[in-house]
Structure 1
Amino acid sequence: MKRVILNVIREQGYVFVNVCEPDLLGKVFKKGDISLAVNREFYAGEEVSLDFAFTLFEEANVVSLVGREIVDEAIKRGYVAKDGVLEIEGVKFAQVYNM
């Protein structure tokens, strides 16, 4: 199974699950006025299987996903709607809110 970088942030009663493909970490992608920064402060964490990352989605208030394979798998599993995906320079990005 695909390996991804996972960072779980727990603060002020909220849980943020941030997942990105390893080769995208630290990069910035731009499209017009839109900029997607896959910054280390938000996304750097431990390398885990994508399956494990998906197990944390239920407890998260916000899930941020960066990368074509990650977002495609989230769509396949029903976490993300296709029309809710942003694509910048070929990199897919999606967020899921469980408030």
Structure 2
Amino acid sequence: MQFSVKVSNYQKNLMLNICDSDLLGKDIIQDKLTMSISKSYYGEKIVGKQEAEELLKKSSIINMVGDQTVSLSIELGIGSENGVKRISGVPFLIVFKM
């Protein structure tokens, strides 16, 4: 299980953009909506499950896309199934920790 991540600081918060590595560089299209899983936004480095878990736990703002990524966040109690949206069947979730 591999994830593509980009970590940055945003207004004194740790922001994590994370996706399933196999989605990197793809466009997800549904009707008139297109979500680009760009390398510039998600592609700083590839990490394994353990590092992905650590990043999910310590980040305050998380943008995530993909079955494995969203499932992992829900398993860790970071995300909720209620907040998951889907574009052409691909789940995405945005989390803001307070």
Range into which the TM-score falls when normalised by the shorter chain: 0.7 to 0.9
Partner of 1:51: 50
Partner of 2:7: 8
Aligned residue identity for 1:85? V
Offset at residue 38 of structure 1 (A)? 0.9
**Cα-Cα RMSD:** 1.7
Aligned residues: 98
Is the CA contact (8 Å cut-off) linking 1:6 and 1:46 kept in structure 2?
A: yes
5+ residue gaps, structure 2, are none
- Alpha-carbon separation, structure 1, partners of 2:21 and 2:14: 21
- Alpha-carbon separation, structure 2, partners of 1:70 and 1:16: 15
Is the CA contact (8 Å cut-off) linking 1:50 and 1:70 kept in structure 2?
A: no
Pairs within 5 Å for 1:1-99 = 2-99=1-98
Offset at residue 11 of structure 1 (A)? 4.4
Aligned residue identity for 1:74? S
Superimposed CA distance per residue, residues 34-59 of structure 1 (whole angstroms, 9 cap, x where no aligned partner) = 33221111101111112212212343
TM-score, normalised by the number of residues in structure 1: 0.84
Q: Identify which range, 11-20 or 40-49, moves more after superposition.
A: 11-20
Identical aligned pairs, as a percentage?
27
